[in-house]
């Protein structure tokens, strides 16, 4: 279970986002909808431990992650959180397989990759360089990298944002199927994907503060 308690985050441009207290139950899927800049991506980065809140607590499975060091949060992220970034965050000059194998640096077992590639129809592309792939294929590689470690929590930031609707829908379907039984939190502004989720959250109602001046995605705060 993921709990947010009185969490707020300030940015360099003095804008701030305050989140309402939230709870994400284990094994449920959540779709976070909202306008650009309402703090959706920031929320994912906070849960992933990539950034720290200025106030409040983030508690994951009873553990107050906000009290932990960056090192501990990194270790937790690589073991327990599968994060699918909006812009994939893949090393373009490396092969698809290398982008998965990179997790082995931290001792992550990537033996499930073959099955996931097969499930997503990517087994033929494993030795191709990422830069040779289409947007949809890159998104699938990002999904495999997020799921290969069999995480308890999957965070997906606009997983269909770079894809046309039909491919996006297919990717979303595949993601929802492969993530079944996990806690899946997906951020998007595309309401048409709502049918794939147990819960739909309007983030415009869950945040307050200088929302409209807040950075729109994680890249700007990293």
Partner 1 sequence: MFHFAMKNLAIKKAQTLLVILSIVLSAGVAVLAYNVSGQVNDGITGTAAYYSAIIGPSGSKTQLAMNTMYFSDEPLGTIPYEVISELQQDMRVASVVPFAMADSYNGYSVVGTSTDFLSGKNVSQGEMFSAAGSFEAVLGANVARVSGVRVGDQIYTSHSVGETHKTPYTVTGILQETHTVYDNVVFTQLQTIWAAHEEEEEEHEEGHEEEHEHEEMNGMVCAVLVRTLNPTYAMTLVNDYDGRIFMSRDGGSHTLQAIEPMDTVRGILQDADTTRYIVFILCAIILVMNVMMIIIITLLNLYHSAGEIRLMRLIGISMRKINLLYLIQNLVVGFAAVLLAFLLSRVCLLLMRDYVAQMGVVLNASKVYPLEAVLLAAVFIINLLPTMICTWRMAGQEGINN
HSE-up (13 A, CA, CB side) for residue 53? 23
Using rule CB under 8 A, residue 123 touches partner 1 = no
Judged by beta carbon, residue 62 or residue 222, the one nearer partner 1 is 222
Placement of tokens 């986002």 in the chain = 17
Among 6, 25, 64, 104, binds partner 1 (CB under 8 A): 104
Using rule CB under 8 A, residue 102 touches partner 1 = yes
Judged by beta carbon, residue 33 or residue 142, the one nearer partner 1 is 142
Report, in Å, the least distance between residue 17 CB and partner 1.
14
- Distances in Å between the Cα of 49 and the Cα atoms of 5, 68, 77, 87 are 15, 9, 7, 18
197 burial (CB, 10 Å; 0-12 / 13-18 / 19+) is buried
Using rule CB under 8 A, residue 106 touches partner 1 = yes
Among 19, 24, 30, 85, binds partner 1 (CB under 8 A): 85
Using rule CB under 8 A, residue 145 touches partner 1 = yes
- Within 8 A by CB and 6+ apart from 157, the residues are 40, 41, 44, 83, 84, 85, 86, 187, 217, 218
Interface ranges with partner 1 (CB under 8 A):
12, 45, 50-52, 69-71, 74-75, 77-79, 81, 83, 85, 89-91, 93-94, 98, 101-106, 145, 221-222
């Amino acid at each position: 279970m993921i709990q947010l308690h009185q969490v707020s985050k300030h940015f360099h441009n003095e804008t701030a986002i305050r989140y309402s207290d939230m709870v994400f139950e284990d094994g449920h899927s959540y779709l976070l909808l909202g306008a650009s800049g309402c703090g959706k991506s920031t929320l994912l980065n906070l849960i992933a431990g990539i950034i720290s809140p200025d106030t409040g607590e983030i508690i994951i499975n009873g553990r107050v992650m906000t009290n932990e060091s960056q090192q501990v949060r990194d270790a937790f992220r690589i073991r327990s959180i599968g994060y699918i970034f909006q812009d994939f965050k893949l090393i373009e000059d490396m092969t698809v397989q290398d982008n998965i194998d990179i997790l082995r640096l931290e001792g992550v077992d990537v033996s499930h990759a073959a099955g996931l590639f097969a499930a997503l129809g990517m087994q033929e592309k494993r030795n191709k360089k990422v830069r040779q792939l289409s947007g949809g294929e890159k998104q699938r590689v990002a999904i495999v990298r997020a799921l290969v470690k069999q995480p308890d929590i999957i965070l997906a930031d606009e997983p269909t944002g770079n894809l046309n609707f039909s491919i996006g829908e297919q990717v979303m379907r595949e993601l929802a199927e492969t993530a079944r039984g996990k806690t899946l939190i997906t951020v998007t502004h595309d309401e048409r994907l709502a049918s794939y989720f147990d819960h739909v959250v309007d983030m415009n109602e869950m945040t307050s503060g200088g929302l409209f001046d807040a950075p729109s995605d994680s890249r700007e705060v990293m």
